[in-house]
Amino acid sequence: MLVRIVKLVFKPENISSFENIFEESKDQIRNFAGCQHLELFQDKNDKTTFFTYSFWETENALENYRNSEFFRKTWSKTKVLFAAKPEAWSVSKRFILN
């Protein structure tokens, strides 16, 4: 399993637009082949900073999503809202609490 963490920083006036885009697309992302989990977080102290946290079965599943027409359309609407370049990390779980 691959965990993908993406940091997104928006212009303050674009936060609600991003939230609308995420709300409209979250179910399609969650149901994309290979996606096992998706969450959205907002920084407590900086309301312009968000993080997506998603689990993917394989790196290929994530790449298939990133190369999909759905991603291209969604990303083109989202990227114009940024205040800073997005940052992304692909990580593996090393320890799981039960």
**CA-CA distance, 96 to 98, in Å (whole number)?**
6
**CA-CA distance, 59 to 16, in Å (whole number)?**
31
Token couple for 55:
């689990």
> Residue 48: helix, strand or coil by DSSP?
coil
Q: What's the pLDDT score for residue 67?
A: 98
What's the CATH architecture for 2-91?
Answer: 2-Layer Sandwich (3.30)
Only one residue has tokens 């309301």, namely: 47
Q: What's the pLDDT score for residue 95?
A: 77
Global pTM?
A: 0.92
Closest listed residue to residue 19, CA positions, set 44, 56, 55, 48 = 48
**Is the pLDDT confidence value at 10 over 80?**
yes
Under 8 Å between Cβ of 11 and 80 = no
**CA-CA distance, 30 to 28, in Å (whole number)?**
5
Give the tens place of pLDDT for each residue, 42-93.
999 999 999 999 999 999 999 999 999 999 999 999 999 999 999 999 999 8
Give the tens place of pLDDT for each residue, 34-55.
999 999 999 999 999 999 999 9
